[in-house]
Amino acid sequence: MPRVTFREERCKGCELCKHFCPKGIIEMAGHINAMGFHPATVVDAESCTGCATCARMCPDIVIEVEKEEKKVG
Amino acid sequence: MPRVTFREERCKGCELCKHFCPKGIIEMAGHINAMGFHPATVVDAESCTGCATCARMCPDIVIEVEKEEKKVG
Amino acid sequence: MKKVFTRPKSLKDMPFHYCPGCTHGIVHRLVAEVIDEMGIFDRAIAVAPVGCSVFCYEYFDCDAYQASHGRAPAVATGIKRVLPDRVVFTYQGDGDMAAIGTGEVVHAAARGEKFTVIFINNAIYAMTGGQMAPTTLLGQVTTTTPYGRSREVNGCPVRMSEMLSVLDGSAYIARVSVHDPPNVARAKRAIRKAFEVQEAGLGFTMVEVLSSCPTNWGLSPLKALKWLEENMIPYYPLGEYKKPAEVG
Amino acid sequence: MKKVFTRPKSLKDMPFHYCPGCTHGIVHRLVAEVIDEMGIFDRAIAVAPVGCSVFCYEYFDCDAYQASHGRAPAVATGIKRVLPDRVVFTYQGDGDMAAIGTGEVVHAAARGEKFTVIFINNAIYAMTGGQMAPTTLLGQVTTTTPYGRSREVNGCPVRMSEMLSVLDGSAYIARVSVHDPPNVARAKRAIRKAFEVQEAGLGFTMVEVLSSCPTNWGLSPLKALKWLEENMIPYYPLGEYKKPAEVG
Amino acid sequence: MFEAILIAGFGGQGVLSTGQLLAYAGMVEGKHVAWIPSYGPEMRGGTANCGVTISSRPISSPVVSEPTVLIVMNRPSLEKFQNSVVKGGIIFVNSSLIDLRASRNDVRVFYVPANEMAEELGSGKVANNIILGALIELTGVVSPGAVEKSLQEVLPPHHHKTIPLNLKALETGAKLVRNGQKT
Amino acid sequence: MFEAILIAGFGGQGVLSTGQLLAYAGMVEGKHVAWIPSYGPEMRGGTANCGVTISSRPISSPVVSEPTVLIVMNRPSLEKFQNSVVKGGIIFVNSSLIDLRASRNDVRVFYVPANEMAEELGSGKVANNIILGALIELTGVVSPGAVEKSLQEVLPPHHHKTIPLNLKALETGAKLVRNGQKT
Amino acid sequence: MAKILMKGNEAIGEGAVRAGCRYFFGYPITPQSELPHYLAKRLPEVGGLYLQAESEVASINMVFGAAGAGARVMTSSSGPGISLMQEGISYLAGAELPCVIVNMIRGGPGLGNIAPAQSDYFQATRGGGHGDYRVLVLAPSSVQEIIDLMQDAFDLADKYRNPVMLAGDGVLGQMMEPVILDDEIKPPSLPEKSWAATGRMGRDRKNLINSLYIVPENCEIHNLELGRKYAAMEESEQRWEDYHTEGAEMVLVAFGTAARVCKAVVDMFREEGRPVGLLRPITLWPFPWKRVSALADSVRCFLTVEMNMGQMVEDIRLAVNGKRPVRFYGRVGGMLPVARDVYREALKILDGGAD
Amino acid sequence: MAKILMKGNEAIGEGAVRAGCRYFFGYPITPQSELPHYLAKRLPEVGGLYLQAESEVASINMVFGAAGAGARVMTSSSGPGISLMQEGISYLAGAELPCVIVNMIRGGPGLGNIAPAQSDYFQATRGGGHGDYRVLVLAPSSVQEIIDLMQDAFDLADKYRNPVMLAGDGVLGQMMEPVILDDEIKPPSLPEKSWAATGRMGRDRKNLINSLYIVPENCEIHNLELGRKYAAMEESEQRWEDYHTEGAEMVLVAFGTAARVCKAVVDMFREEGRPVGLLRPITLWPFPWKRVSALADSVRCFLTVEMNMGQMVEDIRLAVNGKRPVRFYGRVGGMLPVARDVYREALKILDGGAD
Ligand SMILES: Cc1ncc(C[n+]2csc(CCOP(=O)(O)OP(=O)(O)O)c2C)c(N)n1
Ligand SMILES: Cc1ncc(C[n+]2csc(CCOP(=O)(O)OP(=O)(O)O)c2C)c(N)n1
Ligand code: SF4
Ligand code: SF4
Ligand code: SF4
Ligand code: SF4
Ligand code: SF4
Ligand code: SF4
Ligand SMILES: [Mg+2]
Ligand SMILES: [Mg+2]
């Protein structure tokens, strides 16, 4: 199962990841981080495809995505 | 008969008038003017058509051209 | 588990100072990824502008210069002429490059200087508080066009990619955008091409990136991207304006 | 007897300081004739550059300004914005306008400033002793390209008319030459059109005049005109690059 | 009299306009006043602060480097500024957003759950004015009447309808102090 | 010894290089020398002049404003500079091109039909050196030998074949003086 | 007569409008941005023009054009931008064109920062551009004074046909203070400018705006004429404020923001009964050397307080001419002097025996 | 060791090449054109680069890039062009980059003319750009000295990581004088520049060329460090020439071309047996105030002779500090002082009783 990790303290709550996640599984947390923003978080990790769209749209490089090793070429 | 007049003291001897006169009637004088140039002069005034080509190519506005008054338009 | 997405090595591990949702961050990442992927980190030299991205000299972990406002192309010229085998890029905003630095970028392009300009067009002077830039759209309200940019007073926005493409010395010029994932991918490809053309010594290269400034546009990050798509792209068409025959 | 050709009234009656055969003098005359013929002498304001033609502020008998090197378009902007009903023109060389003054002319054009630039392209910095200009041709020997202008070191000559035509604010842009009588006549028509477009308030106007510098080219006045025709025109094609629909 | 008040928080929390309201009130009362914001690219980081000096004598530097009163609307501001407060000074902490206690014990510290209280009044936007009300009540630096008058001047006309709410917030803050609450 | 020599004429008359030749010769003889051209946009007008100072002492200003010797190769230069010559100084007038007499009578004036004489020698280009020869003979500011040596250095190698002609011109000028001609 | 709270930068704009300025050409830079923002809104209201130039070089040359055309015109910038204007300022001075240039000084050199500083004193008073010329430099120290000096700035510029600079800093620009404004704005009545190049419009002679004097003799005459003008300015335009200099043993000298701090220092001393005063130059050029020189006869010593590494102190030394010791205390890079520190420094000098 | 006749402007070029300079970025202007002409030919011969920039602003920023990359690099201009470089020079000083800037001063202000002048003294010595910074300024007065000082200029630039300016004028640039040149040019051996930003190339830390210190506290530290460097330069690098100052009653002070004229004046006096001398500053900044201050103890008065309206005279007054009268004699706008006139002026002062 792919894994998305958020470096919460770096998140500025811009919601771009949330908007662009094709699975719609990112939400903004209720609490605020030290910078005063509601950080993004995955609410349904199971559904994550590891597509990394969220990461590619995150301006603050908050998100890391890991996936099962597949032999490619 | 058209008349071309040269303000000799302003001539810099560049020879442009001479080169472009369709009648080939402009030559450079043997003497030099106060600025040290051989001034241009018309050697065959009779043949002048008053086309003012010389004047139009003279960078120093040395040449004035007059012509018989013709009623135009 | 394999990391399919992680922070590029060429970016120092520190937070950006940019506002929430500012796409400067995305472009930084793309440039760093290209440097990583091309394996040129050790030879890379960044020239930072004056503008919101002034601190990019901190973020890019390669050697760097902080240039005076608009003059990054002249600084890059000085560097590259001394060190012709390095990979030199400037990172400049639209105030920096399309206003005060017009002379420098035009002549760097005319001379065919072999470096790459990453040109961030966000239609505003962001750092100084949202004044009109040469790239500000007609009608756009800014702190110095409180009644909207007027054609009569301020003239029309300048299209730098089109203008620089006219010069013989420019080798690769493209306009891209980062308002959605497919465009982000395209932007990265353009940046890579520009660096490759620089490495091939073919001439001046520039990638103009349409970018958002949620803060000074007064829009949420998401609305800003939508505004960019709907307003900027029609005036600033995306595409490759110039490329050498050698490059696909 | 009627004078079919005489000194235009707008030119003060004094000798030019130009070298023998320098076409600056022809262009001065054309501008003055257009001013006379349009009856705008009283409203005309000239802005002189720094270059061989710096003293044109003496020759044109209208009110005049001597601008700092390259900045005539900015000075003209200041004048015209204060006095919008005057006819303002700058007279600038290729060093003045295409090098140091690039930013000013690009942005005057972009803003659509309603004045006219008479741009003398003689492929050289003449006044300072024949150094390479941005418009110097490839291979051309000058005092700062003793081995000939090299594409690799100096890049390609810039074509200003083409570049400024890209901008939305430019209304009339033409390139003419004064190397023979028919072209002198065409040059005058272009200058007249530019002034008319300015009067109509349609935007920025410029006439680029290919011009000779016998002294710094090291050629006789006649050979210089021939060199211009054979070498400059192929690289700098003549024609109207931009004109408003309103103008024939 | 002399008060140097520093108000700090996130951008968008109304920190600057709260300071202006206070300065205006001081002016209305004929006192010497000066207001100054922090400016510059820090605004990118999203923090904002301003200093307000109100004094019976001409004001030397308007920059408040040693506040007699500090209002902090977020945690980074508390951490950054608490040590600058003069001995015997006052700190107002917006405890709705700050889960930290001030570390100074030579100053008076008031914890005001301003956002919650403001929400109770009907709008989170008046959180600042709750603290401002407390400040005025405690220090008497300006009179409530002067603030009320200033609201009319400082708020753009289309916001005048919010004046009653703002007054309520100021009064709520004042009551807090009168009731001796130190949450 | 001290001579301040001003050489003036049209551009293209070799005025500057003649001055350099003279200065070089002075240097060869171990004297203090300085050469300076007029520069600037006057060049457009087609005139050129240079000053050469040769002295046994260090040279203060190299600008020759009060020449001890003046060489004029054209009429405007005579008109412009004759009054600057020091009393008792010398003026050489190229009478081939100047149909005017000098108006000074407190200086010595030599009229040299340099162009004609040069044409006679085979090339109008050595007109300057005819006058230079006269100057050297008259003033002894440098020795003919030093000038000969300097020609080798000053002329680019592909012009060395003209050295005999130049020497002939210098000698012709010298003779003129020796014969006491004051044309 | 309304009393309102106003930002320094906005006060510059309002003061300019009230002084009849209708043209502003400029390029954004911190810390003066509120001024262009204000004028972009305000000038169109009074039929004027705010035009954003493509650079500071363009700005100052637009000012050259507009001033030559007879308009009251201004530009504004800070350190780096003012440096770029130096050629243009030299041209304006050379062509004797009136205009107002605002420099809200920030920390330097180079990009430095945007915090308040006074490190462009030399540049302002010695002419950072080429050639012998002078710019009249006004240094307000409160928002009210900004408003008042703007009128003077334009009047002096016209009177002497010379650029006038207003030198402030980020603190003065950013701070709000109460100001009193006349309720009505009189329409500007500009002095006649018969020299302006406005197109001949029937005029029988031609007007020329020019700084080129190709013949050295003429250029010398021009410089000597300029020199006489500057001498007249030195004679008539020295301005300063005396703050408790009466009977002072030590006089602090400081301008602008630093002078505000020094007033507090003087108060501290006077409260203790020690005779310390402040001389606050209002014109930085011409420098009020008459006053300094007079004080030098009575005080024991001077302490210059600047937000730089020591620039104005040279003018004080020149004015004092060795008669008394002149000491310097400075903060740099955007730091402000703190009253307590200045007090301590002054005390050290006083007690240590300055002489 | 060849003795040849060389033009001052060309000597600058040859001196630079011999000092190991391989990069020139510049923009044409009279009266320094022979320098670019010379280097355009000469630099390619030694594997160097002559690049003509599109403007002086571009030139100085190309210099910034090349200097940051560790090269010995120079640019050259005159008045108007140097004014345009002021922002760039402030950046170079702020980023502590070594380079050499030549100013062949001409008549100003504005376009002025192209005749020799010294009216950019203030600009050169006080920093015409923004912020507190200093440029080391060398003022040769003969062609041989130009050659010699070019080596020093580059060495001092590298030693202090600071821009160095060579201040000349049209006379020095245009004149030819004999110079002695070493026959061989040693290949340049540059000091190691571990701070240069050349690409990391395996280096474990990153190099940064920067003048931005956004936090005022840091900017102050930076300025104080720069200040210490300038103080070290003031301590160690003051240079001057004494010409018959021994036992002098009056000392003339003049640099560059004016100093040549003043030597003739001193000779005139000394021939009459009157003890008049000349102090010729070779460094304009740091100004040789140690020497002036020492002389002030023994001479009766000073006469400063400048080709401007009176600029260096301030430094002399500062150094003399009221101990002796300091008089000024100047010619402007491209005019040269004439020995006879200076003599007369000096005599008037001497006989009129200077004090
Ligand atoms: C010479 C100079 N002029 C002006 C400034 C002020 N300034 C700083 S950033 C900036 C504009 C930045 O706009 P842009 O280049 O579009 O970058 P952005 O902030 O939008 O990313 C300006 C005008 C300066 N630092 N230096
Ligand atoms: C700021 C500045 N830089 C350089 C110069 C020197 N300069 C005078 S004229 C000129 C170039 C003129 O060339 P161009 O504009 O082509 O005119 P031309 O003489 O060829 O007609 C230059 C560089 C100057 N006066 N000011
Ligand atoms: S990796 Fe893809 S699916 Fe998973 S959270 Fe990110 S965008 Fe959504
Ligand atoms: S895109 Fe990045 S910064 Fe924005 S909300 Fe998502 S994780 Fe946070
Ligand atoms: S008018 Fe025509 S025909 Fe007559 S001289 Fe001139 S060019 Fe020749
Ligand atoms: S074109 Fe004019 S200047 Fe040239 S030779 Fe003819 S008359 Fe003389
Ligand atoms: S102001 Fe605009 S460009 Fe600058 S960091 Fe914020 S969003 Fe980005
Ligand atoms: S130098 Fe060239 S451009 Fe200048 S006047 Fe002479 S010929 Fe004309
Ligand atoms: Mg921008
Ligand atoms: Mg040209």
Alpha-carbon span A55 to A64, nearest angstrom: 7
Task: Write out pLDDT tens, residues D139-175.
Answer: 999 999 999 999 999 999 999 999 999 999 999 999 9
Closest residue of chain D to F43, computed from CA coordinates: D19
Question: Is the same domain home to H184 and H50?
Answer: yes
- CA A59 / ligand 7 centre spacing (Å): 11
Question: Is the same domain home to H214 and H294?
Answer: no
User: Mean pLDDT over residues H318-331, rounded?
Assistant: 98
- Looking up residue G207, the CATH number of its domain turns out to be 3.40.50.970
Q: Which residues does chain D have within 8 Å of residue B6's beta carbon, measured at their own beta carbons?
A: none
Percent share of chain C, pLDDT over 90? 98
pLDDT on residue E42: 44
Closest residue of chain H to D101, computed from CA coordinates: H55
Please choose, from the candidates H207, H129, H124, the residue with its C-alpha nearest in 3D space to the C-alpha of residue H167.
H124
pLDDT on residue D82: 98
- CA B39 / ligand 6 centre spacing (Å): 7
Q: DSSP state, D124?
A: S
- CA D184 / ligand 8 centre spacing (Å): 18
Alpha-carbon span F13 to F71, nearest angstrom: 12
Alpha-carbon span D119 to H256, nearest angstrom: 40
Tell me the best of B4, B8, B14 to mutate to test the pocket of ligand 6, counting ligand atoms within 8 Å of each CB and taking the most.
Answer: B14
Tokens of residue G170, six digits: 């980020």
Alpha-carbon span E162 to H111, nearest angstrom: 61
Cα four-point dihedral sign H241, H243, H245, H250: negative
List C-alpha distances in Å: D248 to D115, D168, D174, D178, D243: 19, 19, 13, 22, 8
Alpha-carbon span D83 to D130, nearest angstrom: 37
Q: Which residues contact H268 (CB under 8 A, 6 or more apart)?
A: H339, H343
Q: Of G214, G236, G258, which closes a domain?
A: G236
Q: Which residues does chain C have within 8 Å of residue E48's beta carbon, measured at their own beta carbons?
A: none
Tokens of residue F112, six digits: 């040299």
- CA angle (F156, F160, F164) in 5-degree steps: 145
pLDDT for D119 beyond 90: yes
* Mean pLDDT for chain H overall: 96
Give the closest-approach CA distance of A33 to chain E in angstroms: 10
Give the D:F interface size as CB pairs under 8 Å.
12
Q: Of G236, G270, G298, which closes a domain?
A: G236
Q: Which residues contact H236 (CB under 8 A, 6 or more apart)?
A: none
Alpha-carbon span C178 to A58, nearest angstrom: 11
Indicate the pLDDT class of residue F83, thresholds 50, 70 and 90. very high
User: Mean pLDDT over residues H154-176, rounded?
Assistant: 97
Q: DSSP state, G329?
A: E
Task: Write out pLDDT tens, residues E89-146.
Answer: 999 999 998 989 999 999 999 999 999 999 999 888 899 999 999 999 999 999 999 9
Cis previous bond, G109, omega within 30: yes
Between F144-154 and F127-139, two packed helices, what is the crossing angle to 10 degrees? 140
Q: Which residues does chain C have within 8 Å of residue A28's beta carbon, measured at their own beta carbons?
A: none
Atom of ligand 4 nearest to the CA of C21: 4
Indicate the pLDDT class of residue H355, thresholds 50, 70 and 90. low
Question: Is the same domain home to H304 and H176?
Answer: no
- What are the backbone dihedrals phi and psi of residue D168, each rounded to the nearest 5 degrees, phi first? -65, -30
Q: D39: part of which helix (H) or strand (E)? A: none
- SS (HEC) of chain C: CEEEECCCCCECCCCCCCCCCCCHHHHHHHHHHHHHHHCCHHHEEEEECCCHHHHHHHHECCEEEECCCCCHHHHHHHHHHHCCCCEEEEEEEHHHHHHHCHHHHHHHHHHCCCCEEEEEECCCECCCCCECCCCCCCCCCECCECCCCCHHHHCCCCCHHHHHHCCCCEEEEEEEECCCHHHHHHHHHHHHHHHHHHHCCCCEEEEEEECCCHHHHCCCHHHHHHHHHHHHHHHCCCEEEECCCCCC
3.40.50.300, 3.40.50.970, 3.40.50.2000, 3.30.1120.10: which CATH number matches D24-242? Answer: 3.40.50.970
pLDDT on residue D76: 99
Smallest CA separation from ligand 1 atom 20, residue: C126
Alpha helices in E29-162, H assignment, sequence order? 42-45, 75-81, 114-121, 127-139, 144-154
Cα four-point dihedral sign H212, H216, H218, H220: positive
Strand partners, D170: D204
Indicate the pLDDT class of residue D248, thresholds 50, 70 and 90. low
Question: Is the same domain home to H295 and H262?
Answer: yes
Neighbours of F (≥3 Cβ pairs closer than 8 A)?
Answer: B, D, H
Indicate the pLDDT class of residue F180, thresholds 50, 70 and 90. confident
- CA A40 / ligand 9 centre spacing (Å): 27
Question: Is the same domain home to H308 and H178?
Answer: no
Q: DSSP state, D183?
A: H
Tokens of residue G79, six digits: 């350190």
pLDDT on residue A33: 87
pLDDT on residue E41: 55
**C-beta of B51 in contact with ligand 5 (< 6 A):** yes
pLDDT on residue D1: 83
- The letter for the amino acid at H304 is T
Q: By three-state DSSP, how is residue G281 classified?
A: strand
Question: Is the same domain home to H246 and H297?
Answer: yes
- Looking up residue G294, the CATH number of its domain turns out to be 3.40.50.920
Q: Answer whether H147's CB lies under 8 Å from H18's CB.
A: yes
Task: Write out pLDDT tens, residues G242-300.
Answer: 999 999 999 999 999 999 999 999 999 999 999 999 999 999 999 999 999 999 999 99
Alpha-carbon span E107 to E102, nearest angstrom: 10
DSSP one-letter string for D14-34: S---PPTT-THHHHHHHHHHH
Strand partners, B4: B65
Please choose, from the candidates D92, D210, D198, D88, the residue with its C-alpha nearest in 3D space to the C-alpha of residue D157.
D210
Task: Write out pLDDT tens, residues H8-62.
Answer: 999 999 999 999 999 999 999 999 999 999 999 999 999 999 999 999 999 999 9
Smallest CA separation from ligand 5 atom 6, residue: B54
pLDDT on residue F42: 45
Note the ipTM here: 0.97
Alpha-carbon span E97 to E16, nearest angstrom: 18
pLDDT on residue F12: 79
Closest residue of chain C to G39, computed from CA coordinates: C144
Q: Which domains does chain A have, with CATH numbers?
A: 3-66 (3.30.70.20)
Whether G110 contacts chain C with CB within 8 A: yes
Tokens of residue G29, six digits: 């830079």
Whether G200 contacts chain E with CB within 8 A: no
Whether A59 contacts chain E with CB within 8 A: no
Alpha-carbon span G106 to H223, nearest angstrom: 13
- The letter for the amino acid at C68 is S
Whether H323 contacts chain G with CB within 8 A: yes
Determine which of E9-23, F43-57, G151-165, G317-331 has the lowest per-residue pLDDT on average.
F43-57
Alpha-carbon span G181 to G191, nearest angstrom: 23
Domains contained in chain G, number: 2
Give the closest-approach CA distance of H53 to chain C in angstroms: 8
Beta strands (DSSP E) in G144-212 are 163-169, 176-181, 208-209
Domain that holds residue G277: 241-352
| G240 compared with E181, residue with greater pLDDT | G240
Task: Write out pLDDT tens, residues G53-79.
Answer: 999 999 999 999 999 999 999 999 999
User: Mean pLDDT over residues H315-336, rounded?
Assistant: 97
- CA G200 / ligand 10 centre spacing (Å): 29
- The letter for the amino acid at G230 is Y
Question: Is the same domain home to G341 and G260?
Answer: yes
Q: Which domains does chain E have, with CATH numbers?
A: 2-178 (3.40.920.10)
pLDDT on residue G183: 84
Task: Write out pLDDT tens, residues B8-29.
Answer: 999 999 999 999 999 999 999 9
Give the closest-approach CA distance of E24 to chain G in angstroms: 7
pLDDT on residue F44: 54
User: Mean pLDDT over residues D209-213, rounded?
Assistant: 98
Alpha-carbon span G112 to G115, nearest angstrom: 9
Q: H140: part of which helix (H) or strand (E)? A: none
Cis previous bond, E144, omega within 30: no
pLDDT for B34 beyond 90: no
**C-beta of B12 in contact with ligand 5 (< 6 A):** no
pLDDT for H354 beyond 70: no
Alpha-carbon dihedral F149, F154, F158, F162, rounded to 10 degrees: -60
pLDDT for H191 beyond 70: yes
Percent share of chain G, pLDDT over 90? 95
Give the closest-approach CA distance of G11 to chain D in angstroms: 24
Alpha-carbon span G165 to G129, nearest angstrom: 14
pLDDT for C69 beyond 70: yes
* Mean pLDDT for chain F overall: 92
pLDDT on residue H201: 98
Q: By three-state DSSP, how is residue D103 classified?
A: helix
Alpha-carbon span E180 to E176, nearest angstrom: 6
Q: Answer whether H84's CB lies under 8 Å from H56's CB.
A: yes
